[in-house]
Amino acid sequence: MNLAALTLHEAGDKLGRREISSHELTEAVFERIAATDETVHAYLTLARDAALAQAKQADERLKQNEAVTPLLGMPIAVKDNFLTRGLRTTCASKILGDFIPPYDATVVVKLRAAGAVIVGKTNLDEFAMGSSAENSAFWWK
């Protein structure tokens, strides 16, 4: 079974029935990123260690049936214009190339509270000034 190809709904069902773990699902997502991102350039920053730790916590919550939400244990990516505490946020601009925010954007706070596993930050046009991501300062990283 190709876990990285599951829809959000399919993955949620399998997590809920304990057929797969969040850790397995997150590992599959990172394998898919490794296999494709050199061509696609979708990610600007990956958070493998933090994501696997979040997945482990989600698996514990699922095992204990504790605070289960539809996003619990689901690996997701966040566009690189949303602030993520402790995780580089560049808005696809070299001006912010080394910026590590001290707090999360509201949407990230809510995703974390729901138990989502943040795998990384995705590419976009510099400062979100476009819709194709071809004008990212990091397109050809």
Residue pointed to by tokens 């979040």:
54
On the question of pLDDT at 32 being above 60, the answer is yes
Task: Give the start-to-end residue ranges of the domains of the chain.
Answer: 3-128
Pick the closest to residue 118 from 31, 12, 45 (CA basis): 45
Beta-strand relationship, 75-79 and 43-46 = unpaired
On the question of pLDDT at 141 being above 60, the answer is no
Pick the closest to residue 29 from 8, 60, 57, 9 (CA basis): 8
Task: State the pLDDT confidence band at 134, using cuts at 50, 70 and 90.
Answer: confident
pLDDT on residue 130: 80
On the question of pLDDT at 33 being above 90, the answer is yes
Mean per-residue pLDDT of the chain: 93
Side chain identity at residue 10, one-letter code: E
pLDDT on residue 129: 87
Q: What is the pLDDT of residues 84-109, one digit of tens each?
A: 999 999 999 999 999 999 999 999 99
For residue 78, what is the DSSP state?
E
Encoded tokens for 81: 């214009």
